[in-house]
């Protein structure tokens, strides 16, 4: 992996970290308060979407940096980075089965979102996205050690 590719991946990870920090305060309120505030719901939806899309973008950068061909779907990108040893089984399952689906519903079925589901899923996403970031940094460190 060349230095430019590593810097791009690191920038994506820093962005994910900042989105997680931005999202946190909007999920500190109770479910009832969340449901009563449409503006807050839209902020949570957008930040969750951006976190998930940033992880997908990071996957593509990792795959290309390792000499692979970008995945044709978001779910496939998580399977590929799992096969590369970047993420564990838990993250693979959560991102493929839960978070990519959430992103798709936010983008394509906005008018029929289950706000309760978004609230609880976004809360789990924060923890899993933090773990994703740590996993990618760990992978980058291992690659650097092998190359250096």
User: What's the pLDDT tens digit per position in 90-135?
Assistant: 999 999 999 999 999 999 976 789 999 999 999 999 999 999 999 9
Cα 71 off chain centre by: 16
Tell me the C-alpha distance between 81 and 71, whole Å: 10
CB 91 within 8 A of CB 45: no
Domain-wise residue ranges, the chain? 3-147
DSSP 87-128: S-HHHHHIIIIIIHHHHHHHHH-GGG--HHHHHHHHHHHHHH
Q: Which CATH architecture best describes the domain 3-147? A: Up-down Bundle (1.20)
pTM for the model: 0.94
| pLDDT tier, 148 (very low <50, low <70, confident <90, very high otherwise) | low
């Amino acid at each position: 992996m060349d230095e430019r590719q590593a810097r791009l991946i690191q920038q994506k990870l820093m962005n994910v970290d900042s989105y997680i920090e931005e999202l946190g305060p909007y999920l500190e309120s109770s479910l009832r308060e969340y449901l009563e505030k449409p503006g807050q719901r839209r902020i949570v939806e957008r930040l969750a979407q951006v976190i998930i899309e940033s992880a997908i973008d990071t996957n593509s950068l990792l795959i290309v940096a390792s000499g692979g061909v970008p995945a044709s779907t978001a779910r496939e990108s998580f399977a590929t980075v799992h096969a590369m040893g970047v993420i564990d089984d838990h993250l693979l399952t959560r991102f493929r089965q839960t978070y990519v689906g959430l992103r798709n519903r936010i983008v394509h079925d906005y008018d029929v979102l289950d706000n309760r589901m978004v609230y609880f899923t976004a809360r789990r996403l924060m923890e899993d996205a933090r773990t994703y970031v740590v996993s990618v940094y760990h992978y980058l460190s291992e690659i650097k050690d092998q190359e250096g």
